[in-house]
């Protein structure tokens, strides 16, 4: 038996790296969770290796914590630390079982053998009570205790499983007969070898989910487990429900809207192997599944797969690594795959909708001479539609207030951005830091009382449309309860669903006959190389929500830039054309997938500190670059807008050798992070920034 455990203490310090050695507790293996004395504190830790002895004096650990992490996840944590320029400790923290909850027990009653004796004398009520067993006791515990006293019932505590899925188990739904294209995809997936990757490129409504389901069925039949990643669970209840209907109790879901208890129970069911399918968002990529055979990433273009805290991992990248390490097949699916995926992964195509309907016609509406948020044609179309989906990627009432007298604009005191008016809450809010203040009555600079409200957000648009007498359903982060809004819209005979990009996610409503994008250039105007890709995806995804039923449908795209290439391709439903053009552009400009980008952001409260540190890092990178083999350009540093009271500065590394570039950045950033003169400066490294 090993006498020493190599341990990673779960601290967040960037400069502090394990492993540290401790005396091995009984039965310790890779993945065993511990509490260890570390410095002057006791900290949680994970065993990452075993050894026979150590160069140091080793001490005892404080305790062993159940359950252990699967060893595959420990390996994955090291990979994440390398790949996303973070530390193993931070990566391991992502993988811990849900905290803050314990297994729940309740009293469970069973009839004993004695109760089966025909001589036993019972009242009718007692007989009925016995017949209702075995089960958890309820309000009848006292009556059951009396029967227990006579030796007729045994009552013991038992673990109660908190069930998050509202699906009647057993109601496993018929599976439809696959179309020819679906069958070909299913067969190809089933025949795929260990570690193989495939891209399922299917237009909206082409039945991708059915392909996933049948591939999953075959994986389960082969005795292996299935991981299914979906963008945001609150917005994609349909895919979760379909997995649960098809596979019943073997499906576990993991997401942040579950209670801590539900999450723990689901995690434990996976850990014990009772559940062999896990469906969840980004964080579910760390589900403790064993014997993984198939990993599915649905809507692979969705930006929610990127995690915005350290480590800034990309769940698509982690999923691919997990699949490769486990010898599982990876399938990523989308109607609008990323240029990165189309470039790297062999493709299976579903070119037609299952119901045989064509894609709806898309008209580009030129807004250059239209004064209001809605063009008169759009307005008329909305009034005539049965059910419409309207996308406006801006929350609130209006996003810019200014004083008509002196021009004063209302800005966040912590961030360099304007405040957004939320009329229902009667407040102004910063969408970056959450700062709130009451709606102003007069200008703080000149005392003027005439205050103009510019720009239209979802709140205002929903209100305008409701004034016109149409039932309106609003879906954005301010409303919450997205699943309920969607369900209500689904049931309605008539109405308009208004919301942010949430409305374009994978819902399937057969009777939507109109789709509208209010401000298609809101994503195009972003100073970001993904602006075209995002715009194309958003318009195409929205178009995919319309015209699924027999009534057909159409789509209107309002824009100030009617010539934009991404919009023209989207209007023609020409995803191949778009991808070709976009890959050409990216190659010419040396953007991913033809280069790796790494972004370093420095943030500090002290004036000038962020830029100073960024300059030091940039100098370090430029000095180290020639010997690094990274083939890197270092862009910046450049100032970013102030956020949460912190000045920020960023630099971007654009490199041809990914591994070398990561090593270069890690070396320089870790050196600076340990330096006194840069204390108080927060550093964040983002490999493949979104
Ligand atoms: P996608 O995810 O590609 O947009 P979905 O998987 O949501 O498409 O499928 C669209 C609709 O078609 C769903 O209502 C689904 O139940 C139905 N469907 C899928 N495959 C078939 C099939 N082979 N036969 C009949 N209906 C199907
Ligand atoms: Zn703010």
pLDDT tens string 639-652: 999 999 999 999 99
Q: Is 333 in the pocket of ligand 1 (CB under 6 A)?
A: no
Residue 507, pLDDT > 50, answer yes
Alpha-carbon gap, residue 571 to 227, rounded angstroms: 34
Q: Is 208 in the pocket of ligand 1 (CB under 6 A)?
A: yes
For the chain, what is the radius of gyration of the CA atoms? 29
Ligand 2 centroid–CA 374 distance in Å is 29
Which single residue is written with the structure tokens 């990979």? 79
pLDDT score, position 259: 83
**pLDDT band, residue 17 (cuts 50/70/90):** confident
Domain around 107: 101-111+127-160
Alpha-carbon gap, residue 271 to 290, rounded angstroms: 8
Q: Are residues 241 and 147 in the same domain?
A: no
Answer yes or no: are the C-beta atoms of 400 and 593 closer than 8 Å. no
In a domain, 402, yes or no: no
Alpha-carbon gap, residue 291 to 316, rounded angstroms: 19
Q: Is 204 in the pocket of ligand 1 (CB under 6 A)?
A: yes
Report the nearest-CA residue for atom 5 of ligand 1: 207
CATH of the domain at 71: 3.40.1440.60
- The pairs formed by 384-387 with CB atoms below 8 angstroms and a separation of 24 or more are 385/496, 385/513, 385/514, 386/493, 386/494, 386/511, 386/513, 386/551, 387/489, 387/492, 387/494, 387/495, 387/496, 387/497, 387/509, 387/511, 387/512, 387/513, 387/514
Q: Is 179 in the pocket of ligand 1 (CB under 6 A)?
A: yes
In a domain, 58, yes or no: yes
Q: Are residues 645 and 526 in the same domain?
A: no
Answer yes or no: are the C-beta atoms of 108 and 137 closer than 8 Å. yes
Residue 383, pLDDT > 80, answer yes
In a domain, 414, yes or no: no
pLDDT score, position 166: 54
Ligand 1 centroid–CA 535 distance in Å is 25
Q: Are residues 332 and 209 in the same domain?
A: yes
Q: Is 202 in the pocket of ligand 1 (CB under 6 A)?
A: yes
Alpha-carbon gap, residue 642 to 622, rounded angstroms: 26
CATH of the domain at 651: 3.30.70.600
Q: Are residues 576 and 527 in the same domain?
A: yes
Q: Is 210 in the pocket of ligand 1 (CB under 6 A)?
A: yes
Is pTM beyond 0.90 here?
Answer: no
Please provide the size of the chain in residues.
690
278 carries a ligand binding annotation? no
The phi, psi pair for 660, rounded to 5°, reads: -65, -35
Choice from 201, 332, 354 to test ligand 1 binding pocket (greatest atom count within 8 A of CB): 354
Q: Could you tell me the two tokens for 526?
A: 């972003």
Q: Are residues 242 and 378 in the same domain?
A: no
Report the nearest-CA residue for atom 23 of ligand 1: 178
Which ligand has the shortest distance to the CA of 357?
A: 1
pLDDT score, position 168: 45
Q: Is 650 in the pocket of ligand 1 (CB under 6 A)?
A: no
In a domain, 540, yes or no: yes
Q: Could you tell me the two tokens for 512?
A: 């939507």
In a domain, 367, yes or no: yes
446 carries a ligand binding annotation? yes
Alpha-carbon gap, residue 275 to 89, rounded angstroms: 28
Domain boundary among 71, 95, 119: 95
Ordered DSSP codes for 264-312 = HHHHHHHHTTS--EEEESGGGGG---SSEEEEEESSTT-GGGB--SSS-
Q: List the beta bridge partners of residue 256.
A: none
Which ligand has the shortest distance to the CA of 646?
A: 2
CATH of the domain at 240: 3.40.50.300
pLDDT score, position 355: 85
Ligand 2 centroid–CA 153 distance in Å is 62
In tens, the pLDDT along 575-604 reads: 999 999 999 999 999 999 999 999 999 999
Residue 294, pLDDT > 80, answer yes
The answer for residues whose C-beta is within 8 angstroms of residue 299's C-beta and 6 or more apart is 230, 231, 236, 333, 334, 505, 506
pLDDT score, position 170: 45
Provide mean pLDDT across the span 434-439: 94
Q: Is 178 in the pocket of ligand 1 (CB under 6 A)?
A: yes
Ordered DSSP codes for 337-367 = --HHHHHHS-EEEE-S-TT-PPPPPEEEEE-
Q: Is residue 680 helix, strand or coil?
A: coil
Q: Is 203 in the pocket of ligand 1 (CB under 6 A)?
A: no
Q: Is residue 357 helix, strand or coil?
A: coil
Ligand 1 centroid–CA 210 distance in Å is 6
Q: Are residues 147 and 215 in the same domain?
A: no
Within 441-530, residue ranges assigned H as helices are 458-467, 482-491, 521-524
Report the nearest-CA residue for atom 20 of ligand 1: 207
Q: Is 176 in the pocket of ligand 1 (CB under 6 A)?
A: yes
pLDDT score, position 255: 84
Q: Exposed, middle or buried by CB within 10 Å (0-12, 13-18, 19+), for 211? A: buried
Domain boundary among 589, 609, 644: 589
In tens, the pLDDT along 164-180 reads: 665 444 445 678 999 99
What is the pLDDT of the chain when averaged over all its residues?
91
602 carries a ligand binding annotation? no
Within 302-431, residue ranges assigned H as helices are 315-326, 339-344, 376-384
Cα within 13 Å of Cα(281), Cβ side: 17
Other Cβ atoms less than 10 A from the Cβ of 357: the count is 17
Report the nearest-CA residue for atom 19 of ligand 1: 207
Q: Could you tell me the two tokens for 484?
A: 């309920």
In a domain, 443, yes or no: no
Which single residue is written with the structure tokens 């038996």? 1
Alpha-carbon gap, residue 391 to 316, rounded angstroms: 26
Alpha-carbon gap, residue 38 to 20, rounded angstroms: 9
In tens, the pLDDT along 543-565 reads: 988 877 766 789 999 999 999 99
Ligand 2 centroid–CA 648 distance in Å is 14
Q: Is residue 436 helix, strand or coil?
A: strand
Phi-psi region of 396 (alpha: psi -120 to 50; beta: other; left: phi over 0): left
Q: Which DSSP state fits 314?
A: B
Alpha-carbon gap, residue 254 to 230, rounded angstroms: 11
Ligand 1 centroid–CA 261 distance in Å is 34
What is the sign of the dihedral through the CA atoms of 520, 504, 499 and 383? Answer: positive
Q: Residue 148: in which H helix or E strand, if any?
A: helix 141-149
In tens, the pLDDT along 247-292 reads: 998 999 998 888 888 889 999 999 999 999 999 999 999 999 999 9
Q: Are residues 370 and 480 in the same domain?
A: yes
- CA 460-299-310 angle, 5° bins: 85
In a domain, 239, yes or no: yes
Q: Is 354 in the pocket of ligand 1 (CB under 6 A)?
A: yes
Which ligand has the shortest distance to the CA of 186?
A: 1
pLDDT score, position 39: 85
Q: Is 207 in the pocket of ligand 1 (CB under 6 A)?
A: yes
The β-bridge relationship of strands 329-334 and 292-297 is parallel
Which ligand has the shortest distance to the CA of 298?
A: 1
Other Cβ atoms less than 10 A from the Cβ of 377: the count is 13
Q: Are residues 377 and 468 in the same domain?
A: yes
Nearest atom within ligand 1 for CA of residue 204: 4
In tens, the pLDDT along 132-164 reads: 888 888 878 888 888 899 989 999 888 777 666
Q: Could you tell me the two tokens for 274?
A: 């009772």
In total, how many domains does the chain have?
5
Nearest atom within ligand 1 for CA of residue 202: 3
Q: List the beta bridge partners of residue 436.
A: 429
Alpha-carbon gap, residue 230 to 257, rounded angstroms: 14
Return the biggest CA–CA distance within the chain.
96
Q: Are residues 462 and 571 in the same domain?
A: yes
Q: Are residues 225 and 191 in the same domain?
A: yes
Q: Could you tell me the two tokens for 678?
A: 């840069």
Domain boundary among 589, 606, 640: 589
Alpha-carbon gap, residue 386 to 264, rounded angstroms: 44
Ligand 1 centroid–CA 511 distance in Å is 15
In a domain, 410, yes or no: no
Q: Are residues 333 and 190 in the same domain?
A: yes
Q: Are residues 605 and 565 in the same domain?
A: no
Alpha-carbon gap, residue 303 to 299, rounded angstroms: 9
Closest by alpha carbon to 320, among 296, 336, 338? 296
Which ligand has the shortest distance to the CA of 414?
A: 2
């Amino acid at each position: 038996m090993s006498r020493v455990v190599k341990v990673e203490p779960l601290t967040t310090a960037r400069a502090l790296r394990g492993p540290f050695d401790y005396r091995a507790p009984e039965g310790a293996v890779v993945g065993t969770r511990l509490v260890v004395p570390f410095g002057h504190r006791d900290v949680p830790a994970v065993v990452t290796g075993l050894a026979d002895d150590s160069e140091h004096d080793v001490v005892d650990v404080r305790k062993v914590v159940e359950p252990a992490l699967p060893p595959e996840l420990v390996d994955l944590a090291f990979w994440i630390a390398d790949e996303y320029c973070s530390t193993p400790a931070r990566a391991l923290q992502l993988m811990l079982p849900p905290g803050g909850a314990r297994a729940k027990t309740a009293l469970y009653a069973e009839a004993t053998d004695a109760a089966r004796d025909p001589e036993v004398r019972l009242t009718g009520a007692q007989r009925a009570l016995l017949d209702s067993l075995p089960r958890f006791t309820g309000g009848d515990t006292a009556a059951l205790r009396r029967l227990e006293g006579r030796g007729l019932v045994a009552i013991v505590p038992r673990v109660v499983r908190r069930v998050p899925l509202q699906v009647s188990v057993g109601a496993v739904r018929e599976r439809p007969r696959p179309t020819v294209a679906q069958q070909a995809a299913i067969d190809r997936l089933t025949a795929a070898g260990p570690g193989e990757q495939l891209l399922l490129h299917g237009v909206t409504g082409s039945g991708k989910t059915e392909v996933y389901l049948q591939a999953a069925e075959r994986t389960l039949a082969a005795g292996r487990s299935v991981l299914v990643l979906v963008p945001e669970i609150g917005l994609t209840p349909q895919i979760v429900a379909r997995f649960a209907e098809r596979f019943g109790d073997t499906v576990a879901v993991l997401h942040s809207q579950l209670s801590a208890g539900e999450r723990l129970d689901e995690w434990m069911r996976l850990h014990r192997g009772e559940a062999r399918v896990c469906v969840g968002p980004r964080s579910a990529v760390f589900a403790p599944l064993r014997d993984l055979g198939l990993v599915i990433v649905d809507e692979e273009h969705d930006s929610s797969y990127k995690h915005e805290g350290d480590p800034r991992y990309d769940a698509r990248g982690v999923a691919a690594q997990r699949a490769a390490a486990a010898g599982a097949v990876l399938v990523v699916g989308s109607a609008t795959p990323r240029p990165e995926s189309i470039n790297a992964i062999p493709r299976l195509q579903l070119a037609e909708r299952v119901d045989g309907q064509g894609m709806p016609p898309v008209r580009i509406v030129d807004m250059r001479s239209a004064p209001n948020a809605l063009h008169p044609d759009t307005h008329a179309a909305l009034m005539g539609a049965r059910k419409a989906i309207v996308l406006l990627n801006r929350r609130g009432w209006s996003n810019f207030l200014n004083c008509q007298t002196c021009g004063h604009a209302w800005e966040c005191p912590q961030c360099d951005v304007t405040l957004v008016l939320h009329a229902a809450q009667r407040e102004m809010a910063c969408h970056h830091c959450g700062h709130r203040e009451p709606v102003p009555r007069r200008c703080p600079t000149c005392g003027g009382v005439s205050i103009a409200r510019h720009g239209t957000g979802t709140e205002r648009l929903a209100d305008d449309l409701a004034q016109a007498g149409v039932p309106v359903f609003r879906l954005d982060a301010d409303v919450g309860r997205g699943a309920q809004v969607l369900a209500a819209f689904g049931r309605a005979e008539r109405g308009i669903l208004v919301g942010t990009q949430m409305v374009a996610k994978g819902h399937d409503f057969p009777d939507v006959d109109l789709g509208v994008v209010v401000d298609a250039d809101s994503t195009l105007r972003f100073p970001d190389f993904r602006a075209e890709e995002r715009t194309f995806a958003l318009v195409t995804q929205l178009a995919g929500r319309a015209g699924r039923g027999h009534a057909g449908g159409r789509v209107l795209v309002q824009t100030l830039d009617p010539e934009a290439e991404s919009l023209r391709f989207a209007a023609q439903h020409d995803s191949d054309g778009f991808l070709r053009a976009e890959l050409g552009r990216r190659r010419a400009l040396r953007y991913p997938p033809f280069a790796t980008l790494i972004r370093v952001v420095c943030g500090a409260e002290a004036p000038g500190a962020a830029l100073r540190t960024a300059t030091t890092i940039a100098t370090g990178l430029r000095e180290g670059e020639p010997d690094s083999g990274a083939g890197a350009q270092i862009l910046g540093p450049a100032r970013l807008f102030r956020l949460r009271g912190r000045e920020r500065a960023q630099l971007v590394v654009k490199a041809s050798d990914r591994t070398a570039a990561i090593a270069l950045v890690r070396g320089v950033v870790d050196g600076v992070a340990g330096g006194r003169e840069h204390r108080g400066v927060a550093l964040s490294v983002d490999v493949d920034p979104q």
